[in-house]
Amino acid sequence: MKFLISLTLLLLPTKLSARQTVTIRIKARAAQGAFTSNWAYFGHDEPNFTYMKYGRQLLSELSAISPDAVHIRTHNLLTTGDGAPALKWGSTNAYTEDASGRPIYNWTVLDKIFDTYHGAGIAPFVEIAIYLPFCFFIDKPS
Protein backbone atom coordinates (compact mmCIF):
# COMPACT_ATOMS: atom_id res chain seq x y z
CA MET A 1 0.00 0.00 0.00
CA LYS A 2 2.85 2.39 0.83
CA PHE A 3 4.34 1.70 -2.61
CA LEU A 4 1.05 2.52 -4.33
CA ILE A 5 0.68 5.80 -2.41
CA SER A 6 4.31 6.73 -3.13
CA LEU A 7 3.90 5.94 -6.80
CA THR A 8 0.70 7.97 -7.00
CA LEU A 9 2.33 10.97 -5.36
CA LEU A 10 5.34 10.65 -7.64
CA LEU A 11 3.15 10.68 -10.72
CA LEU A 12 1.20 13.77 -9.70
CA PRO A 13 2.17 16.88 -11.63
CA THR A 14 4.45 19.18 -9.71
CA LYS A 15 2.65 22.26 -10.97
CA LEU A 16 -1.01 22.45 -11.89
CA SER A 17 -1.55 24.39 -15.08
CA ALA A 18 -3.75 27.49 -15.17
CA ARG A 19 -7.20 27.31 -16.72
CA GLN A 20 -7.17 27.47 -20.46
CA THR A 21 -9.93 28.64 -22.76
CA VAL A 22 -10.88 26.19 -25.46
CA THR A 23 -13.07 27.02 -28.43
CA ILE A 24 -15.01 24.24 -30.10
CA ARG A 25 -16.64 24.86 -33.47
CA ILE A 26 -19.16 22.42 -34.84
CA LYS A 27 -20.08 22.39 -38.51
CA ALA A 28 -23.37 20.55 -38.24
CA ARG A 29 -24.10 20.74 -41.97
CA ALA A 30 -20.74 19.30 -43.02
CA ALA A 31 -20.96 15.67 -44.16
CA GLN A 32 -18.35 13.33 -42.72
CA GLY A 33 -19.67 10.03 -44.04
CA ALA A 34 -21.69 7.25 -42.48
CA PHE A 35 -21.89 7.16 -38.69
CA THR A 36 -20.86 3.84 -37.21
CA SER A 37 -21.43 2.91 -33.62
CA ASN A 38 -19.20 0.75 -31.50
CA TRP A 39 -21.07 0.58 -28.23
CA ALA A 40 -22.94 -2.69 -28.54
CA TYR A 41 -20.95 -4.05 -25.60
CA PHE A 42 -22.64 -5.45 -22.51
CA GLY A 43 -21.41 -7.28 -19.45
CA HIS A 44 -22.63 -9.19 -16.45
CA ASP A 45 -21.37 -11.03 -13.38
CA GLU A 46 -23.50 -14.16 -13.35
CA PRO A 47 -22.35 -16.45 -16.17
CA ASN A 48 -24.81 -19.18 -15.21
CA PHE A 49 -27.83 -16.98 -15.94
CA THR A 50 -26.62 -16.75 -19.55
CA TYR A 51 -28.12 -20.09 -20.61
CA MET A 52 -31.26 -19.91 -18.48
CA LYS A 53 -34.64 -18.92 -19.96
CA TYR A 54 -34.49 -15.16 -19.37
CA GLY A 55 -30.77 -14.97 -20.06
CA ARG A 56 -31.27 -16.51 -23.52
CA GLN A 57 -34.24 -14.24 -24.10
CA LEU A 58 -32.29 -11.10 -23.16
CA LEU A 59 -29.32 -12.02 -25.36
CA SER A 60 -31.62 -12.67 -28.32
CA GLU A 61 -33.37 -9.33 -27.80
CA LEU A 62 -30.07 -7.43 -27.57
CA SER A 63 -28.87 -9.09 -30.75
CA ALA A 64 -32.14 -8.36 -32.58
CA ILE A 65 -32.29 -4.64 -31.75
CA SER A 66 -28.66 -3.79 -32.45
CA PRO A 67 -27.57 -2.77 -35.95
CA ASP A 68 -24.03 -3.84 -34.97
CA ALA A 69 -22.58 -7.07 -33.64
CA VAL A 70 -23.32 -7.37 -29.92
CA HIS A 71 -20.43 -8.28 -27.64
CA ILE A 72 -20.83 -9.70 -24.14
CA ARG A 73 -18.21 -9.64 -21.38
CA THR A 74 -18.91 -11.97 -18.48
CA HIS A 75 -17.18 -12.21 -15.11
CA ASN A 76 -16.52 -15.50 -13.29
CA LEU A 77 -15.79 -17.63 -16.35
CA LEU A 78 -13.14 -19.57 -14.43
CA THR A 79 -14.50 -19.25 -10.90
CA THR A 80 -14.55 -22.42 -8.83
CA GLY A 81 -18.00 -23.61 -7.77
CA ASP A 82 -20.91 -25.87 -8.58
CA GLY A 83 -22.15 -23.93 -11.60
CA ALA A 84 -25.30 -22.80 -9.82
CA PRO A 85 -26.43 -19.24 -10.56
CA ALA A 86 -26.12 -16.77 -7.70
CA LEU A 87 -26.72 -13.05 -7.39
CA LYS A 88 -23.51 -11.10 -8.22
CA TRP A 89 -21.61 -14.36 -8.45
CA GLY A 90 -21.42 -17.42 -10.60
CA SER A 91 -19.06 -20.26 -11.39
CA THR A 92 -18.07 -22.70 -14.09
CA ASN A 93 -15.67 -25.01 -12.25
CA ALA A 94 -13.65 -25.16 -15.46
CA TYR A 95 -10.43 -25.86 -13.59
CA THR A 96 -9.85 -27.68 -10.33
CA GLU A 97 -7.09 -29.89 -9.02
CA ASP A 98 -7.17 -33.35 -7.51
CA ALA A 99 -5.58 -34.16 -4.15
CA SER A 100 -2.17 -34.57 -5.86
CA GLY A 101 -2.39 -31.15 -7.51
CA ARG A 102 -3.06 -32.50 -11.00
CA PRO A 103 -5.38 -30.32 -13.09
CA ILE A 104 -8.95 -31.36 -13.77
CA TYR A 105 -10.61 -29.53 -16.67
CA ASN A 106 -14.38 -29.46 -17.07
CA TRP A 107 -15.68 -27.31 -19.93
CA THR A 108 -19.36 -28.29 -19.57
CA VAL A 109 -20.64 -25.00 -18.15
CA LEU A 110 -18.38 -22.85 -20.36
CA ASP A 111 -19.63 -24.76 -23.41
CA LYS A 112 -23.23 -24.00 -22.42
CA ILE A 113 -22.40 -20.29 -22.02
CA PHE A 114 -20.61 -19.96 -25.37
CA ASP A 115 -23.19 -22.11 -27.18
CA THR A 116 -25.85 -19.70 -25.88
CA TYR A 117 -23.89 -16.70 -27.18
CA HIS A 118 -23.48 -18.36 -30.56
CA GLY A 119 -27.17 -19.27 -30.74
CA ALA A 120 -28.17 -15.66 -30.05
CA GLY A 121 -25.72 -14.23 -32.60
CA ILE A 122 -23.60 -12.70 -29.83
CA ALA A 123 -19.82 -12.28 -29.96
CA PRO A 124 -18.11 -13.07 -26.66
CA PHE A 125 -15.60 -10.57 -25.32
CA VAL A 126 -13.69 -12.98 -23.09
CA GLU A 127 -12.41 -11.76 -19.75
CA ILE A 128 -9.97 -13.86 -17.81
CA ALA A 129 -9.06 -11.75 -14.84
CA ILE A 130 -9.29 -11.74 -11.08
CA TYR A 131 -12.05 -14.34 -11.00
CA LEU A 132 -9.86 -17.43 -11.02
CA PRO A 133 -10.11 -20.97 -9.68
CA PHE A 134 -9.57 -21.24 -5.92
CA CYS A 135 -6.57 -23.54 -6.35
CA PHE A 136 -4.60 -20.59 -7.78
CA PHE A 137 -4.76 -18.75 -4.47
CA ILE A 138 -2.24 -19.18 -1.65
CA ASP A 139 -4.93 -18.60 0.98
CA LYS A 140 -7.78 -20.71 -0.32
CA PRO A 141 -11.33 -19.72 0.67
CA SER A 142 -12.92 -22.13 3.10
Q: Where in the chain are the domains?
A: 39-103+126-142
Q: What is the mean pLDDT of the chain?
A: 81
pLDDT of residue 76: 86
21: left (phi over 0), alpha (psi -120 to 50) or beta: beta
pLDDT tens by residue, 54-65: 999 999 999 999
pLDDT of residue 138: 63
Q: Band the pLDDT of 116: cuts 50, 70, 90.
A: very high
Residue 6 above 50 pLDDT? no
Is there a contact between 114 and 56 (Cβ–Cβ < 8 Å)? no
pLDDT of residue 137: 67
Distance CA 72, CA 69 (A): 10
Residue 9 above 50 pLDDT? no
Q: Band the pLDDT of 129: cuts 50, 70, 90.
A: low
pLDDT of residue 4: 42
Selection from 39, 106, 96 nearest residue 73 by Cα:
39
pLDDT tens by residue, 11-53: 555 555 667 888 888 888 888 888 777 778 898 888 999 999 9
